[in-house]
Amino acid sequence: MLNFAIVGCGHVAKKHVQAINNSEGARLYALCDANANQLQQFGSTYDIKHLFTSFEKLLDQQEIDIISICTPSGTHRKLAIQAANAKKHIVLEKPMALTLTDADAILKACDENDVKLTVVHPNRFRPAVVALKQAIQENKFGTISYVNATLRWNRNQAYYDQASWRGTKEQDGGVLMNQAIHNLDLLLWLIGDVEQVQAYMDTRIRNIEAEDVATAILRFKDGMLGVIEATSTIYPKNLEESISIFGETGSAEIGGPTANWIKHWVFDHETEAETEKIMGKVENDPFGIPGHQMIIQDMIKAVEQDRAPIVTGEDGRNALALVLAIYHAAEQNSPYELQWKGEEKEDGND
């Protein structure tokens, strides 16, 4: 049995509580939040006895094996490094950090202390996304020419007004960093590294510091083109989240208000019966096991088997790097060349 602690008792922490409680081999042992009232309320709701307003005192608890960090994004570097130095494995909410300098510092601390790190990109585990990944691995698309990621969601002003850090560049970020980063992670996981970005972004409607709408054109390393469209200003509620892939021998789109359903699925060498089987399986269970639960269960296995988690810290860094590249391209109003970690130079640290 591995003991988990959660730091940051806000909205997303509820998903971690459910994921831990529903995962075999996991026990939610402790909670931590600097807001004593919020901590007590959260602890009472979920019947957790070990409550800490001090993160340092939480880290002193030898019983704790894994810490879920659910605090504002700008705090991730400090907390993750402290957790790593205390020899605690880490489940880190997205984005893993707001700069590549901070992301690299987290990766370095985890490596030096030999602790596991996973970043919460749960959409990879959706049944429709898994089917799409398998189709790519089986080369059903042939040569892929074009991909598209669309996020047309609503995060109203009340959402941003919940806390002073929301929508700020220093602690939070905008629609790309907070909502669309999952779609960017999927594009990188499904297609591969991006070579060049051109982009526009703006803050059109919400009273926030960061962007509420963004568009970008991507060129992937092996020549594919892609388009990203993301906004948090759709009235009055979430309209669409989709991933589309188009190739010489197939095309597919997964979508809906969240990308959980197969909207289009046609392949040259796939029989009608095979297509109906794939689409029917997704239709019957479009959500599958919740993504946060899959992240927690995989972390448990990673610790027990001493292997890397499915979603690694490097994966979290890559998604962040793409967001920052889009920011740079929009700010300089010209194409931006990406250099991935391990190459001659790295960009996007600011």
Q: Alpha carbon 29 to chain centroid distance?
A: 25
What the chain holds in terms of domains, given with CATH numbers, is 2-115 (3.40.50.720), 123-288 (3.30.360.10)
Identify the pLDDT of residue 343. Answer: 54
For residue 323, give the nearest of 194, 235, 236 by alpha carbon: 194
* Per-residue pLDDT band at 344 (split at 50, 70, 90): very low
* Per-residue pLDDT band at 342 (split at 50, 70, 90): low
Q: pLDDT for 173-197, tens place per residue?
A: 999 999 999 999 999 999 999 999 9
Instruction: Specify the amino acid at residue 68.
Output: S
Q: Is residue 349 predicted with pLDDT exceeding 70?
A: no
For residue 188, give the nearest of 341, 347, 303 by alpha carbon: 341
Q: What is the DSSP string of 109-164?
A: HHHHHT--EEE--GGGGSHHHHHHHHHHHTTTT-SEEEEEEEEE-B--HHHHTTST
Instruction: Give kind and range of the element (H or E) at residue 185.
Output: helix 181-190
User: Can you say whether residue 48 is alpha, beta or left, with left for phi > 0 and alpha for psi between -120 and 50 degrees?
Assistant: beta
Cα 104 to Cα 215: distance, rounded to the nearest angstrom: 27
| 3 state SS of 86 | coil
Q: What are 250's strand-pairing partners?
A: 267
For residue 145, give the nearest of 224, 72, 83 by alpha carbon: 224
Can you tell me the mean pLDDT for 235-253?
A: 98
Q: pLDDT for 84-127, tens place per residue?
A: 999 999 999 999 999 999 999 999 999 999 999 999 999 999 99
**What is the value of pTM for the model shown?**
0.95
Contact between 117 and 309 (Cβ < 8 Å): yes
Q: What are 197's strand-pairing partners?
A: 218, 336
Q: What are 231's strand-pairing partners?
A: 152, 213
* Per-residue pLDDT band at 339 (split at 50, 70, 90): confident
Identify the pLDDT of residue 345. Answer: 38
Cα 264 to Cα 262: distance, rounded to the nearest angstrom: 6
Contact between 192 and 142 (Cβ < 8 Å): no
